[in-house]
Amino acid sequence: MTEISTRVAIVTGGSGGIGRAVAERLASDGLAVVVHYSGNQAKAQATVEAITAAGGRASAFGGDVADPEAMAALFQHATDTFGGVDVIAHTAGIMPLAPIAEMDLDTFDRIQRTNVRGTFIISQLAARQVRSGGAVITFSTSVTRLQMPTYGAYAASKGAVEAMTLILARELRGRDITVNTVAPGPTATPLFFEGKSEQVVNHIASLNPMERLGTPADIAEVTAFLAGPGRWVNGQVLYTNGGAA
């Protein structure tokens, strides 16, 4: 067990990409981190090992974010292992892409189940268990403003995430808990590169004034700000995209 004063973070989807960068960044600020994973235990364990090798504290725990019993067990694991929950960074999500006219409804339902229902379950547990002085950080996407073709179902799910998050911030009045959404732009992760040609990637990278893709570290830095010193930022969507929109 750690000292009671230790702040504790749960990072969903912490096994790779943005989630891993967030987990490592929060650990570098001294938080104990529970690295959640859905299907890849080995990658989650690699994140834990990277954190512990750097002198931090971390533990891995698996489960479906849309399963309330599995996520209740995740929160209980954080409490049993590190003493409580102070920060939620809910990076977990899926992003199948297709034009609205072509997407099958089973895929649409799977997106909403993971991204909307999953966020609702995590938010509900956070509202009940995050300690005073804590932070709840969900993840949306800048595509809600960019209106890029093939992203319809995904953007719809993230619009719901933004709505829930901003309402939760108001519902937690008097609790000293901030609730915000980070909305990354195109970010250099395996998920982003999947199925895209070099020409397409270069075009997308050119759309913002910085003329590059974001990196997981860029997103992790904003998340760490909201988890730590950014106490006067509450009920906001932070578009983290290099100025793309």
| Domain CATH code at residue 86 | 3.40.50.720
Is residue 154 flagged as an active site residue? Answer: yes
Q: Which of 38, 39, 9 minimizes the C-alpha distance to 25?
A: 9
From 37, 151, 154, 239, the catalytic residue: 154
Contact 15, 44 (CB under 8 A): yes
The DSSP letter of residue 81 is H
- 245 part of a folded domain: no
Residue 203 domain-assigned (yes or no): no
Per-residue pLDDT tens listing for the chain (245 residues): 344 468 999 999 999 899 999 999 999 999 999 999 998 999 999 999 999 999 999 999 999 999 999 999 999 999 999 999 999 999 999 999 999 999 999 999 999 999 999 999 999 999 999 999 999 999 999 999 888 899 999 999 999 999 999 999 999 999 999 999 999 999 999 878 887 889 989 988 998 999 999 999 999 999 999 999 999 999 999 999 999 86
Give 177-245 as a DSSP string. -EEEEEEE-SB-SHHHHTT--HHHHHHHHTTSTT-S-B-HHHHHHHHHHHHTT-TT--S-EEEESTT--
- The residue type of 172 is L
| 221 located within any domain | yes
Would residue 105 count as lying in a domain?
Answer: yes
Domain of 176 in residue numbering reads as: 8-187+215-240
How many folded domains does the chain comprise?
A: 1
